[in-house]
Structure 1
Amino acid sequence: MVDSSANSPRRMLSLSRERAFVSILDDEREGRFALSNKQGAKLLEVYGFVGSISTIVATGLFFLWAYLPEPWLHYLGITYYPSRYWALAIPTYVMVTILFIVLFYLGLNYMATVPSTSWNSLFDDHTRDASRILSARACTDEEHPIDPISDIPITEVNASLFG
């Protein structure tokens, strides 16, 4: 007997903090699903919560360090901290690095793209010509009410778009 359980698509209303899961195996005599309870938060939920709270705290500390005058920091008992230069330098370095990554990625895409005058931009290994498919189909005596999927020739596309 295989015990496979999954989240029910229809959640049961419950006033408790427990999560109800419905087993795929049902009781054949009574026609009901077997319920099993699992308590506690999932590990990813805990990591997400801790990550969001620590991000908020780190951002608050960064802004306090960057904007409070030095006498106020000394009054709070904070005497050892990095130079204020880094309050501007670190965000600037991060933004410039992200900008260079985006530009580098765009440059790689432009280098990998074939020129617009190349026949490879119109045809590739997966191009399916309708005339070849229909001529191969004409050899067989089978009826096919729906034409197979094929590419539209560029001449027909230009004729319909540009007259």
Structure 2
Amino acid sequence: MEDSYSVSSPRRILSLSKKRRASVSFQDPDEKLSGFRLPEEHGPKTSEVYGFVGSITTIVATAIFLIWAYVPESWLHSVGIFYYPSRYWALAVPTYAMVTVVLALGFYIGLNFMFTPPPTSLNSLFDEFSREPATSKPSMEGDDQPIEPISDIGIDRINHLMFKDVK
């Protein structure tokens, strides 16, 4: 990447381009290792622009909504605004939105209850992804034990481990 004419020093790099123009760069040599260097392309990122435009749009829309909802009609007429939606919608739209969110949450919870098997069903213990433990016993050759393959622990073993002292 560097030219054959470049000279490195701890605090600055003097590089000569192919046209023999000198350019001095005061770049810290640790910047490449630390990852805190400026990107090659300067200017705002698209996500930053969209975020800024979105926040400004939200503020302007909120201000227009509050003016429309709370300023008396005579003030709007004196400014020259004669056409605007009915004030009914200032309460109706937020109310409909909140009711829609509450109903969607209730519907989602209801669907989860409908599709969850009962606790007595074997489908809550076994499914198509269940794996039986390996039946082969590893050989006892010193301390080097192979790692057992991933498998499910049986419910009888879990009950024995958790409730062995309870009678």
> Residue 11 of structure 1 aligns with which residue?
36
1:9 Cα shift?
A: 6.0
What letter corresponds to residue 152 of structure 1 in structure 2? I
Which whole-Å deviations, capped at 9, do the CAs of 1:39-76 have from their partners, x for residues lacking one? 22122221121111101110111011111122222233
> Residue 155 of structure 1 aligns with which residue?
156
Matched position secondary structure for 1:134: coil
> Residue 123 of structure 2 aligns with which residue?
120
Q: TM-score, normalised by structure 2?
A: 0.67
The CA RMSD over aligned residues, in Å, is 2.5
> Residue 113 of structure 2 aligns with which residue?
110
**Would you identify which runs of 4 or more consecutive aligned residues in structure 1 move more than 4 Å?**
none
Distance 1:107 1:8 in 2: 53
Distance 1:60 1:160 in 2: 63
Q: Which runs of 5+ in 2 are unaligned?
A: 1-31
Task: Give the aligned length.
Answer: 130
Q: 1:8 to 1:99 in 2, by over 3 A?
A: farther
> Residue 50 of structure 2 aligns with which residue?
47
Q: Rg: which structure is higher?
A: 2
Instruction: Select the structure with the greater relative contact order (CA < 8 A; seq sep ≥ 6).
Output: 1
Q: TM-score, normalised by structure 1?
A: 0.68
The structure carrying a bigger strand percent of its residues is 1
